Amino acid sequence: MDHEFRKRGAVAPPIQYIVEGGHRLGGAIEPSGNKNAALPIIAAALLTEHPVTLENVPRIRDTETLVELIRSVGAAAEWRSGNKLAIHAKEIRAADLDPVLCARIRASILLAGPLLARCGEVSLPPPGGDVIGRRRLDTHFLAFGQLGATVTATDRLEFRCARLKGADVFLDEPSVTATENALIAAVTAHGTTHLRNAASEPHVQDLAHFLTRLGARIEGIGTNTMVVHGPAALGAASYSIQPDHIEVGSLIGLAAVTRSPLRIMRAGVEHLRSIRMGFERLGIVCEVKGDDLIVPSSQTLKIRDDFGGHVPKLEDQPWPAFPADLMSIAIVTATQCDGVILMFEKMFESRMFFVDKLISMGARIVLCDPHRAIVAGPSRLRGAPMTSPDIRAGMAMLLAAACAEGTSTINNADQIERGYERIEERLNALGARITRVPARTG
């Protein structure tokens, strides 16, 4: 049925999840590879004429779409056993990219850097992706301009440069995708590039480590200033994508709201400090055992007041602070915790617009403005019909449905599967009751 579409990477029909709530989970689960690392690394594989083998690549809709896009410019890409992807971009061309495919994912903008480096030009339709507010591209244009490219933005994005040159590049904001595009382009630029005010998220670090595996010379990985010595002689490489810290955070929230013991294996604990600290503010404490993360079932779920008894605040900020992609998960988790907390989403003005669905389920939330919500808990949630607006809100709805009384229906669950691989299969193996069915039409 529809699972076959998922395996083949074809365009699947719309789906929905039917979730029977109120069941405790238990056992062990391993997070998928980081989707936000896999996407720029797949794009960066176009930089080299030699074969690239990537392991632990999540088989999700976003990666499948990007694989289709790199094939459309002449690269050979083949899924092998498990989550292994073989790419060989021996000859590529600056073809007109399919606007339908580009509209599916924001990551299509990541093709600008490698295609500009290899072909001297690229024409891209505007990228798609989640509708969580305005996601500006100006930082990409600024970076490419400083590296010597000309950029024209009309109904398409046109990038041209006969030869990229190293430069002192200061990004006007620490944009993750703009940092990744600039980093990819700088590897082949002639001269040294200082990339300042750069994003430093784990997926940016993963991309930088992959580029060094290809032969790039990069200093300052994991900091806000990276130095790239180009041009690099790039060869073949094999690389394994690191675990998805956002999925780990989602699983922490799931264990907490269902009062379930969970062992998250090979969790990449070195990147979880701010995430664990954020959940500790909600009364959820995890244990570290080697590279595994243990979420005990005996959690206080008591929101920790600020000093003096003041209402606490959980806010997202650029890495290494609490990540924006976990704010939706944290909001749902807070509805099951004792106390009051202000949730402050600073980065996207539409991220919180899913909370009306939680309110209809019985959550006590006051949406103050597009960026702030006050959550008072614990609340007894009731099953309800919902529609997923984006990847992270969709996963948050799945958490709410899992701990609610009764049955919930999540429409547009395709959005969840853009970021979480076979999530219903993997959660059902822990004891969840999620049925994946084609959405009703008409």
Indicate the pTM of the whole model.
Answer: 0.92
Structure tokens at 182: 């600039």
The reported pLDDT for the residue numbered 2 is 39
Domain match, 116 and 102 both: yes
Torsion of CA 36, 194, 318, 394, to 10 degrees: -20
We report the CATH number of the domain holding residue 354 as 3.65.10.10
24 and 164 in a common domain? no
Distant-in-sequence, close-in-space partners of 436: CB < 8 Å, separation ≥ 6: 2, 3, 15, 16, 17, 413, 424
Claim to verify: residue 152 and residue 194 sit in the same structural domain = yes
Q: Are residues 371 and 425 in the same domain?
A: yes
Given this model, what pLDDT does residue 374 score? 97
Q: Specify whether 109 is located in the same domain as 91.
A: yes
Q: Tokens in use for 342?
A: 């202000």
Identify whether residues 236 and 365 lie together within a single domain: no
What's the number of domains the chain is made of? 2
Give me the pLDDT at residue 338, please: 98
Parallel, antiparallel, or unpaired: how do β-strands 191-196 and 168-170 relate?
A: parallel
Q: What are phi and psi of 86, to 5 degrees?
A: -105, 130
**Rounded distance between C-alpha atoms, residue 243 and residue 222, angstroms:** 16
Q: At what angle do helices 35-44 and 202-214 cross, to 10 degrees?
A: 30
Residues 154 and 117 in one domain: yes
Last residue of a domain, one of 215, 240, 265: 240
Domain endpoint, select from 185, 220, 240: 240
28 and 40 assigned to the same domain: no
Q: Report the C-alpha gap between 47 and 211 in whole angstroms.
A: 9
* pLDDT score for 151: 87
Same domain, residue pair 420 and 329? yes
- Residues 69, 213, single domain; the answer is yes
Q: Three-state SS string across the chain, please?
A: CHHHHHHHCCCCCCEEEEEECCCCCCEEECCCECHHHHHHHHHHHHHCCCEEEEECCCCCHHHHHHHHHHHHCCCEEEECCCCCEEEECCCCCCCCCCHHHHHHCHHHHHHHHHHHHHHCEEEECCCCCCCCCCCCCHHHHHHHHHCCCEEEECCCEEEECCCCECCEEECCCCCHHHHHHHHHHHHHCEEEEEEECCCCCHHHHHHHHHHHHHCCEEECCCCCEEEEEECCCCCCEEEECCECHHHHHHHHHHHHHCCCCEEECCCCHHHCHHHHHHHHCCCCCCEEECCEEEECCCCCCECCCECCCECCEEECCCCCCCCHHHHHHHHHHHCCCEEEEEEECCCCCCHHHHHHHHHHCCCEEEEEECCEEEEEECCCCECCEEECCCHHHHHHHHHHHHHCECEEEEECCHHHHCCCCCHHHHHHCCCCCEEEEECCCC
Within this chain, do residues 278 and 405 fall inside the same structural domain, yes or no?
Answer: yes
Assigned token pair, 91: 């000859």
Is 292 marked active-site? no
Q: How many residues does the chain have?
A: 442
- 212 is in which domain, residue-wise? 35-240
Residues 142 and 195 in one domain: yes
Q: What is the pLDDT of residue 154?
A: 80
- The residue type at 305: D
Q: What angle do CA 105, 108, 114 make, to 5 degrees?
A: 160
231 upstream amide cis, omega within 30 of 0:
yes
> Letter for the amino acid at 294?
I
Residues of the chain with pLDDT under 50: 1-10, 129-134
User: Which pLDDT does position 130 carry in this prediction?
Assistant: 42
Residue 126 has what pLDDT? 74
List Cβ neighbours of 299 (8 Å cut-off, separation of 6 or more).
Answer: 256, 259, 283, 284, 285
* Amino acid 299: pLDDT: 92
Residue 333 CA to residue 38 CA, distance in Å, equals 28
Boundary of a domain, candidates 240, 275, 302: 240
Q: Which residue of the set 62, 130, 316, 390 is catalytic?
A: 130
CA end-to-end distance (rounded Å), the chain = 20
